Structure 1
Amino acid sequence: MATAQRRGRRVMMTRAELDAFLAEQRTCRVATLGPQGHPHVTPLWFVWDGHALWLYSLVRSRRWAELRRDARMAVVVDDGEAYGELRGAELSGTAEFVGEAPRTGLPCPELDAPEALFAAKHFDLPAMPHDGRHAWLRLVPKSLASWDFRKLPHD
């Protein structure tokens, strides 16, 4: 369970707003830690199942290697251009590796729901196409902060 947001309660999204926002967004920015503790940020497609963020990552990527070494990560999903339109969420915790790596489609009941969500959202397909180069990461946030500046009073 994520920790409660202490600041910005006025612009914080409700649970329903957050679920809807994360369901509609396609791309997040994933922050990992390099060998000397330097941050590394990369964009990645994701799906949200109401409990966890699911990320389908290349297993031969710097991001994957960094998470294998240190599974701590932070993710930002945001939207909007003008100040009064800005909204987003920051989720952080520990990455969990789920299923085989790389993923070839072997049965894994834990992946049935996220793969169906991902295939529909990103590929407009009924089932996940496995390429043998990607694998699944799950982030169940330990902390979560959200904002929706559309809730601010406008002059």
Structure 2
Amino acid sequence: MRNTEIVSPTETVRREGPERRRETLARLDRERDIWLSTAHPEHGPHQVPLWFHWDGRAVWLCTGEASVTARNARAEPRVRLALPDTSDVVLVQGEAECFPARDVPREAAEGFAGKFGWDPREEEAPFLYLRVTPRVVRAWRGVHEQSGRVLMRDGAWVV
């Protein structure tokens, strides 16, 4: 058995840090959906699932320019992201930089559009792109991987 297998929902074989990092980067590259958590100082937390594009350095998301998510990210840029699999957890912390569709870097917009076959820049309603550069990344599968789950700290990979 390879040490990357999930044996059951409650039992896993422990992966070492470099393997966790490789698998985390592969998931960021291939997965479609991610949960974005923002917060408003008066109204509290807000969480939504969004499509995302990983460019190798940052996570790019897109939301309506007038959405609660956009308003929260502008007021409080510290955000958290989570891939949707609770048996193979990946959590990313960072700060959201906001780009109106007309100002988004071409490479990021084209990467997003290429992944999804949809280009928010072509929509009638205005969209806002969010770039989240990871500051902290945690990844684990079950209790066996709780120790060593921090893969990135202060924007630098620790494994």
TM-score, normalized by length of structure 2?
0.69
Paired position in structure 2 for 1:4: none
* Contact preservation (8 Å) 2:64, 2:127: yes
1:116 to 110, 113, 117: 110
How far is the alpha carbon of 1:129 from its aligned partner?
4.9
The verdict on how the C-alpha distance between 1:128 and 1:69 changes in structure 2, with shifts beyond 3 A counting, is closer
Q: Percent identity?
A: 27
Paired position in structure 1 for 2:21: 15
> C-alpha distance in 2, partners of 1:49/1:16?
15
Paired position in structure 1 for 2:151: none
Paired position in structure 2 for 1:64: 70
The verdict on how the C-alpha distance between 1:62 and 1:77 changes in structure 2, with shifts beyond 3 A counting, is same
Letter in 2 for 1:130: E
Residue 147 of structure 1 pairs with residue 140 of structure 2: yes
- Larger RCO: Structure 1 or Structure 2 (Cα < 8 Å, ≥ 6 residues apart)? 1
Letter in 1 for 2:97: E
How far is the alpha carbon of 1:91 from its aligned partner?
0.6
* Contact preservation (8 Å) 2:120, 2:127: no
* Contact preservation (8 Å) 2:53, 2:59: yes
> C-alpha distance in 2, partners of 1:58/1:22?
23
The verdict on how the C-alpha distance between 1:37 and 1:141 changes in structure 2, with shifts beyond 3 A counting, is farther
Equivalent residue of 2:84, what SS?
strand
The verdict on how the C-alpha distance between 1:134 and 1:14 changes in structure 2, with shifts beyond 3 A counting, is same
Equivalent residue of 1:14, what SS?
helix
Q: How many residues align?
A: 128
Paired position in structure 1 for 2:48: 42
- Structure 1: give runs of 5+ residues left out of the alignment: 1-9, 81-85
Residue 87 of structure 1 pairs with residue 81 of structure 2: no
How far is the alpha carbon of 1:35 from its aligned partner?
3.1
Letter in 2 for 1:141: P
Equivalent residue of 1:50, what SS?
coil
- Structure 2: give runs of 5+ residues left out of the alignment: 1-13, 146-159
> C-alpha distance in 2, partners of 1:42/1:121?
20
RMSD across aligned positions (CA): 2.5
Paired position in structure 2 for 1:30: 36
Equivalent residue of 2:47, what SS?
strand
> C-alpha distance in 1, partners of 2:96/2:84?
20
* Contact preservation (8 Å) 1:89, 1:144: yes
